[in-house]
With several copies, the nearest count.
Chain A
């Protein structure tokens, strides 16, 4: 059918500034008329807020299959991103139940590469992919390129950006920077800080780097542990960290799931003075930020990333202009500004 003109969803005005094009790329002119015409359709689906608009002209969207390949499915961040993808697909008149394929790579790049081959065999029309490793994903990207299937890279930019149509990512480095800046304000110089990291994830490395670059040697980093961003793994390590340094000032965690472990550890030790920082904007963690058990999270907007990726994918399939790089900004949500946000769900 040709009646797909309701598809595109425009970015509402107040959210528009939340999207900045990457400076290096020339900002492509948006088809303004289209997006305005479609804004009604967008309003009917609540959360489909996208940075760009999909041009579905001349495309039978009902016959498309999109694939979503997150790093892992056991972190709600990725479910939130999938939520954004599904909402945007609905807004475009697609049925995510039958037109969206997902696989769980279980934080293993080798597995992800294998699964991408499976997706290519199913002849999906586009792949939305978040790599575990920015280099190791090349095999999968090459395979997609060979099969002429467009890849929309989300969350963490891959090394071989010539193999992907578009990169829609949070600014992970800035996420670390934001946390560091807040910590520099709230914590005396020379205080002890403990870092929970996960060097095997490229995005996590960038966050840690942003944090470390910003704090410099203002604080004493007493320890780092690779707790894989997992609550249960972080919990005992955080308990031990508090025991080892009775005057520990703060935890910086590369994600909110890990930070949740620190919150429980601090609570168990009766230490509500320890600052706890996370990255993601996980609603559960936001709850603790609100009641003061945690300090702040550099919130990403997974559903915005997801919906934008869908739009880019549709454009790529349709042979329309695609933004090479879309940086979805992160915002630091702290106890002070939390009332400005709806923390009941992911952004």
Chain B
């Protein structure tokens, strides 16, 4: 008897904790799902769920980085434009420069890291607010993407590159596989590494973290570099899915990533935010447009509903937190 209950504890405790921590937003998500199952066509089918997850994947890549930046009481607005730039340069690497495809992928991700590193360094060493730095960098990346691509998409006919984005592992689309891997790594980084703890600490109270012997510069540069790398990867996958690097793509993606983080309970004041919450946030953002598309809702209404859902969901979450604090 004893053994059994302790066994169930080991597995059930984190699950329970997860539900307890996120029940407000989980409930909102559940309500949405039930609603779409009833009123939409084929919402709860295997194809649609895989489809939904594939759509979520690109947002999730960005959201992982953006959430880290928000936990650090910062922000990263470079994502969408950086993804476009990475996609363009990735395809150009093997189309124009004739290098192997894996080099192209590497170039895309490394470029993301470099831009992210630049963001982090500027933020750290100039003390300019991350909002301003990453906004300016967004403009720079967007311009650079257009300049490299000369305004038009850079297309490729390499089948094997396309597979990176459109292939699947068993029934599961590859982008979803990557997403899962990244989320696991993200979870471990945030919870099981010194760096992860430091991110929460710096976000919670920068000065206290400094006095505790944490190297602020390293933490900040790490976060923005990771965020940049994720954006670079996002750009590569987008390019692979479309078999072309599009300089105009990704506009406003960072907004969805921010929305996903915030819906998942990441506070703009820094220091809080969980991977579990992020997952629900990403799912909600993805489900809104997927479900409404299945319900044949006009795309204009989707804008309106997205805005309303964000405010209501975040508010619900806050109310829940208040109640919990009171208890």
Contact = CB atoms under 8 A, between A and B. Distances in A.
A205 B238 CA distance: 22
A119 B294 CA distance: 7
B267 interface: no
Given A79-B151, A243-B51, A244-B293, A133 B299 contact: no
A75 B242 CA distance: 15
Instruction: Select the residue from B165, B242, B247, B250 with max chain A CB neighbours within 10 A.
Output: B242
Interface residues of B, number: 42
Nearest to B142: A74
Given A243-B51, A244-B294, A225 B243 contact: no
Contacts of B189: none
B247 A200 contact: yes
Contacts of A225: 293, 298-299
Interface of B: 40-42, 45, 47-48, 51, 54-55, 58, 146, 150-153, 155-157, 162, 165-166, 173, 238, 241-244, 246-251, 289-290, 293-294, 296, 298-300, 302
A241 B293 contact: yes
Contacts of B156: 135
Contact of A122 (B41, B157, B251, B302): B41
Given A76-B153, A117-B51, A243-B45, 6 more contacts: A79-B150, A102-B298, A118-B294, A197-B151, A231-B246, A284-B153
Contact of B243 (A108, A139, A200, A226): A139
Interface in A115-149: 115, 117-123, 133, 135-139, 142
B299 A103 contact: yes
Interface size grouping (class) on chain A: 35 or more
A230 B151 contact: no
A264 B166 contact: yes
B246 A200 contact: yes
Contact of A231 (B165, B249, B298, B300): B249
B293 A118 contact: yes
A76 B149 CA distance: 10
Nearest to A222: B296
Contacts of B294: 118, 121-122, 240, 243-244
A104 B124 CA distance: 34
Interface in A226-270: 226-227, 230-232, 235-237, 239-241, 243-246, 257, 260-261, 264, 267-269
Contacts of A76: 151-153
A268 B166 CA distance: 6
Nearest first, the 6 closest Cβ-Cβ pairs linking A and B are A199-B151, A136-B242, A104-B299, A240-B293, A74-B248, A76-B152
Contacts of A223: 293, 296
Nearest to A143: B166
A112 B241 CA distance: 12
Given A133-B153, A135-B242, A200-B152, A108 B248 contact: yes
Contact of A119 (B58, B250, B293): B293
A287 interface: yes
Contact of B153 (A114, A136, A235, A240): A136
